[in-house]
Chain A
Amino acid sequence: MNHNNKKKKSKNEQQEFEFCEVCRLNHNNGRRHNFFPSHKNSLSSLLARFQSKISDVKFFLKTPMLILPEHTHQNRLWCVFCNCDILELDSQFACSNAVGHLASEEHLKRVKGFMWKYGGGMDRVDLFRITEADFAKWEKKCKSLKAEAAKTQSVGTSNDIHNKHNAEIVNSSCNNNFDSLKSCIPNYVVPLHSYTNERTPLSGSVLSSSVSKTGPSLYNIPGGSQVQDAHYLKNLTGSVSNQHFPNSLARECSSYGDASTGSVYSGVRAGIGEVSPGLVNLTHVSSASKVALEGNVHTGAPPPWLDGTKGDNLDPALKPESREPVSSRAGKSKLNPKRVGAAWAERRKLELEMERRGERVNNNFDANWLPNFGRVWQSGTRKESRKQFQIENDAMREPDNHLEAVMPIQPYISKRMRKDATHDTVGKSI
């Protein structure tokens, strides 16, 4: 009896359908499904794929790195065990949210449940999670990174290779008013407080006036020194059209004349002709005045090789045009040459191209033009039926005109009057 009951129960279990997330199909095989080769293959491929993603995350676990805000959206991870998407939008470090998730207890529970349900092997659970010890180590490393970043921020560009002296002066003047910058500038980017190049191509006032017109603003620190975020400048030249922004700057530069005479920073005086200690062995080339008038790569002026050789510029512009007819010819070849109206289509395309170029085209399209049409009660070709219609049309018009021309309007004369008239003439003659 018990044996029969068990058999009935097993039959009932087989009849119940359940969904296998690994194979993504419904089956009624019960626990036997886990031993099917198709399921084993799907499971191994799924776990292998997830393993590769976890290895990327574990790389950042060992070596934590700061992440740029623009790249946060690229770091996404779909956790197969928890069926959730892990985003990194708010995180400072690469894969920080993913690391936190993989180290959590909930994830561990779900991994165990998944392995038990789909037969992945309970000994492999640790491969798909992060242990508490590793997580603690990672947290320590992150803290130390943060502390280092904060230190470098407060110190400023102490690693400036050219102007250590200038850096010290700038740092002393900037320290008091640096708080306003902290919220604006990302931690890992340290703005240049002075140009490594001894020449100062632009005066601060010039930059602020021109840039404020076009877009992002510079950060003004009271005390005369200004900080230009190189990052934003790069974005400017990339996003705003090259002709708009650099020209305004170039104009400003030229209007201010020799920019090298103006100094950007109150505490910094990189005078004309002075060579910094690091540049003793290099030959000095003085072209500051020309640069100021004509502009340079920093101001966004056009490169000199493009001014004189405009013909070269036109060639690449011509090339796509020359490619177009080739591609259109290739497109034409795809169309059936025996299609309806193929000859007409090609001829008309040529005519339209000639019209676009401005050439005169000899067309026989007058007001009476009609397309070839196969009429209902006409036999023969469509051209014949069109000619027939035109003949009919002309015939309809001509009789009307002919009659109007031939028929003069005369008063009605009755028969008796006509007879009387004839009698009178006969009587007179006799």
Chain B
Amino acid sequence: MLQCIFLLSDSGEVMLEKQLTGHRVDRSICSWYWDYAISQGDQLAPVIASPTHYLFQVVREGVTFLACTQVEMPPLMGIEFLCRVADVLTDYLGGLNEDLIKDNFVIVYEILDEMIDNGFPLITEPNILREMIAPPNIVSKVLSVVTGNSSNVSETLPGAAASCVPWRTSDRKYTKNEVYVDLVEEMDAVTNREGILIKCQIYGEVQVNSHLSGLPDLTLTFVNPNILDDVRFHPCVRFRPWESHQILSFIPPDGQFKLMSYRVKKLKSTPIYVKPQLTSDSGICRLSVLVGVRNDPGKTIDSVTVQFQLPPCVVSADLTSNCGTFNILTNKSCTWSIGRIPKDKAPSLSGTLVLENGLEHLHVFPTFQVGFRIMGIALSGLQIDKLDLKNLPNRPYKGFRALTRAGQFEVRS
């Protein structure tokens, strides 16, 4: 099991050290790690064997979460746990960076104390942690000024520690009961050099934000659940109703949570197309990129961007676009922000690249990464049928939304 957790800043400084077992891990492991990380560059793997310990490392927003162990253990457990710590801290501190952690290190210690004991993960459910340790939000800061009491530890033990539904307390009360269900989909697509769509799939999540009193029992049904390829559930979802009728039946945790994630494979097309063309001759390369709507989803496509990295052998670039803004940074990474695709003209980017001396043709080609966003539709076609609520004193407000955006959408040239 894990023996120690360190939090390192982006300069390798130890911001926090949490020893978990009797076998103390010396801090010097961090400097070993840091030197090793620098020598490995971007090839650094998440699981490393140091001369004395096995290390798990997860880097989020410049903060390195480093865990050490000396015994055999499931690697995914270490990695998942560190990811969870990062998520919980981001949630608590309203972001994640060196200053936030240094300003709130007492809270970070408190959280770690509840999340893991003697090297074994305990409570990682954010809703429950919130009840044990109050987050350092503005309200409590104001309160502390007014009342002079800045204790961020709640005086009571969370009810969930004793409740039969481990992710929820039974005594929540809201004057206004509301529940929101969001379908958020990301499209991953790869178009190869010949312009053929070789991979196109959707990864989607059903996100629920629930503010409901008591112990409500919810049922969510879809119009077309059979299109889902593989699903994963929040622990609150009952498995049998899904297995037999594809119905999501659950008692929700309080607040925001991810009810379910799914995959839809083998989609046939993307909503927009991006067609790059590169021709090179005697040291000059002509580049043109065309963007347009392929299949109109019936809703506005916005936030369209195209990003790419010019190869190192390009000395200079002269590119202009007829639409949106185009930026090129000194490290030769280019960003073309189109925004909304206009109705009357097809956006295009064109110009010339000058290759370095002695190079006739371009042999290394950039990959174009495409971004877009469509509000109001789930591109997989998944539709919510209805949401039923039981065990509630009065009629709650129900809200539904859908959103699709580009995930890893890349076009090779």
Check if A and B associate: no
Residues of A within 8 A of B (CB): none
